[in-house]
Structure 1
Amino acid sequence: MDGNRRRGLVIGGTAAVAILAVLFAVVGAGRVVDALLASDPWLVAATFGLALCWLIAWSLMLRTVLGSLDVDLPVATSFLVYAGAVFANNVTPFGQAGGEPVTAALIAKVSGSRYETGLVGIASVDVLNVVPSISLVFLGVGAYAATAAIGERLEVAVAVAVALIASIATAIALGWRYRRELVDRLPAAVGGLLGRLRRFDAAAVETALATRLRNFFEDIERVGTRPRRLAAAVGLSLAGWTLQATALAVAFAAVGSPIAPEVALFAVPLAYVAGATPLPGGLGGIEAAFVALLVPTTGVAAATVTAAVLVFRGAVYWLPTLIGGISVSALGIDAMR
């Protein structure tokens, strides 16, 4: 782990702990603990089981996308690789943005494919996950609006999520529209900049970057030519989101406060917007976002909401982090490289 990554992890981890400490202080740590101790162990186990099913669904999604790139992974290997991807996202700042390079290296190592191919595979999974998530947000909010008034907090959360996703989609579209210009001009600009430092050979950097960019865009084009695989991947993405929403609903049932299914449908993707913060896997920020969304929309006490969110996050954050950490360690990939 280099110094910059170590500092980033320490700062992000400290911020996450601080946010969680403030959250517990506001809602009452004692009441949260009491709610957790009184939770139904079978429903807690069911929450973890649903999280495992979500992990399987999205690992199959990754396998499907990689198949369109002629990278064939066994089902068990794809599960371990995707768990490793979640681990990398959860221990690096900015979530997927920080974890994708590690995941690409992991895919390349286990499959013998190019690094760029692995990067396209995991990036495609992240992009394809956007469509079902937005659909579930609007479906859930629409169903909720039919029975209750939409509060200002929910309106702001939806607006922020849509704006963020629209910005990402616009950046991706512009990158694709001007991909040839990027391949022609970016390597020379980067090579010239790094060439001013004695440790870099400008010509070598330019050649290597041009090759990687060319391979990257060629692989993206290959993904787009397999519509059936893309449709299957989107279906698996939708299944994964639904399993997570179900896990959240079961977590609330575990602490004795069932919630409407439509609330879980929009809460999960909306709260994950906080994962774009410089926190390891959004830790702290996502929990706070869940509480901020769910207290006014469910009418459940803040301490009980926090307890349910902790059960849910234990299933979808800590369980995959444990499995993925073991996977990444066994395969010899440094997640903080």
Structure 2
Amino acid sequence: MDERNRRAFIIGGLGAIAVFAVLFFAVGARGVVDSLLSADPSLVAGTFALALGWLAAWSLMLRTVLAALGVDVPVVRSFFVYAGAVFANNVTPFGQAGGEPVAALLISKVSDARYETGLVGIASVDVINVVPSISLILVGVAYYATTAALGSRLETAVGSAVALISAIVIVMALVWRYHDRLVERLPAVVAPRLGRLGLERFESETLEEDLRDRLGRFFENIERVATDRWRLAAVVGLSLCGWLFQTAALTVAFAALGYDVAPYVLLFVIPLANLAGAAPLPGGLGGIEAAFVTLLVPTTGVPASAVTAAVLIFRGAIYWMPVLIGGVSVSAFGVRAVR
């Protein structure tokens, strides 16, 4: 880890600690601890088992996308590769944006695929996951609105999510529409500036041609995934299964504390809270937990301390378990997670 990344990691870690400190102060740390101590161990184990189901479903997504790109990864290996990708996302600031390059390197390492092919694979999984999440948000909020009035906090969260997702979709559409121009012009702009980053050993013209070739293959691979309709439908289905596994896991986490929470509330709260992963914290750590508590307290009627305890159990399964499995995987595959 170089000095700049080490500094960013330390700052992000301190930020996460600060967020947790504020959260525990606001909800009452003693109440959270008491709730955690009262949790049913068998149901806590069930939460972790369901989280493994989520991890397996999204690892199959990655395997299916890579198959569309002509890269064959065995089922078991794809599980550990995806766990490694989640690990990279969880230990770098800005979530997927920070972890995708490391995940692409991991994929290329274990499958002998080109780096840009691995990047298309993991980026496609992340982008496709947005499609079911939007549907879950809209369906869940619409059903919730028939049973209770939408509070201003929830309206703001949904409005912000719709605006953010719409902006992302617009940017992606513009990039795709003008990707030929990007392939032609972007390398000429980038190549001369890479010499300032310690790449003086490469000739500008050679580097420009290499970048143009890689960028061209990147967009070709995206097109291959998008036009393979059967595989694309399977990937979207697996994505939905993953979200449902997460919903079931959080439902069981609440049950472990003795609370029965309507699953349709969790259907839209989970993808909404995960938007906080875009914060400059390691995998959104702290920010996502705070977002969950902020959304769940008014929509479930469960005490804040119990909500926080349930979220901590859930995040232990969704965040910390993949960090452990993925960290071991990354080490075993011989890839440095933070460069």
Normalising by the smaller structure, the TM-score range is: over 0.9
User: For residues 300 and 319 of structure 2, what CA distance do their matches in structure 1 show?
Assistant: 23
User: For residues 172 and 65 of structure 2, what CA distance do their matches in structure 1 show?
Assistant: 18
User: For residues 188 and 308 of structure 1, what CA distance do their matches in structure 2 show?
Assistant: 51
Q: How does 1:150-299 map to 2 (within 5 A)?
A: 150-195=150-195, 199-200=199-200, 201-299=203-301
Aligned residue identity for 1:16: A
> Which residue number corresponds to residue 52 of structure 1?
52
User: For residues 198 and 100 of structure 2, what CA distance do their matches in structure 1 show?
Assistant: 29
Range with bigger deviation, 200-209 or 48-57: 200-209
- Number of aligned residue pairs: give it: 337
Alpha carbons of structure 1 residues 197 and 162: separation in structure 2 relative to 1, 3 Å: closer
Aligned residue identity for 2:296: L
User: For residues 244 and 287 of structure 2, what CA distance do their matches in structure 1 show?
Assistant: 22
User: 1:127-177 CA deviation, whole Å, 9 max, x = no partner?
Assistant: 110110010111111111111111111111111111111111111111111
Aligned: 1:67 with 2:67: yes
Range with bigger deviation, 160-169 or 70-79: 160-169
> Which residue number corresponds to residue 326 of structure 2?
324
User: For residues 83 and 198 of structure 1, what CA distance do their matches in structure 2 show?
Assistant: 32
Aligned residue identity for 1:290: F
Aligned residue identity for 1:227: R
Question: How many Å apart are 1:119 and its aligned residue?
Answer: 0.4
> TM-score normalized by structure 1?
0.98
Alpha carbons of structure 1 residues 122 and 198: separation in structure 2 relative to 1, 3 Å: closer
User: For residues 91 and 205 of structure 1, what CA distance do their matches in structure 2 show?
Assistant: 31
> TM-score normalized by structure 2?
0.97
Question: How many Å apart are 1:195 and its aligned residue?
Answer: 4.3
SS of the counterpart of 1:237? helix
Q: How does 1:95-114 map to 2 (within 5 A)?
A: 95-114=95-114
SS of the counterpart of 1:282? coil
Alpha carbons of structure 1 residues 38 and 195: separation in structure 2 relative to 1, 3 Å: closer
Aligned residue identity for 1:150: L
Q: Identical aligned pairs, as a percentage? A: 67
> Which residue number corresponds to residue 27 of structure 1?
27
Question: How many Å apart are 1:197 and its aligned residue?
Answer: 7.0
Aligned residue identity for 1:112: D
Gaps of 5+ in 1: none
Provide the alpha-carbon RMSD of the alignment: 1.1
> Which residue number corresponds to residue 12 of structure 2?
12
SS of the counterpart of 1:50? helix
Aligned residue identity for 2:241: A
Aligned residue identity for 1:225: T
User: For residues 39 and 108 of structure 1, what CA distance do their matches in structure 2 show?
Assistant: 42
Gaps of 5+ in 2: none
User: For residues 284 and 206 of structure 2, what CA distance do their matches in structure 1 show?
Assistant: 37
User: For residues 151 and 197 of structure 1, what CA distance do their matches in structure 2 show?
Assistant: 49
> Which residue number corresponds to residue 89 of structure 2?
89
User: 1:271-310 CA deviation, whole Å, 9 max, x = no partner?
Assistant: 0000011110000000000000000111111101000000
Question: How many Å apart are 1:193 and its aligned residue?
Answer: 2.6
SS of the counterpart of 1:146? helix
SS of the counterpart of 1:257? coil
User: 1:214-234 CA deviation, whole Å, 9 max, x = no partner?
Assistant: 110111111122100000000
> Which residue number corresponds to residue 119 of structure 2?
119
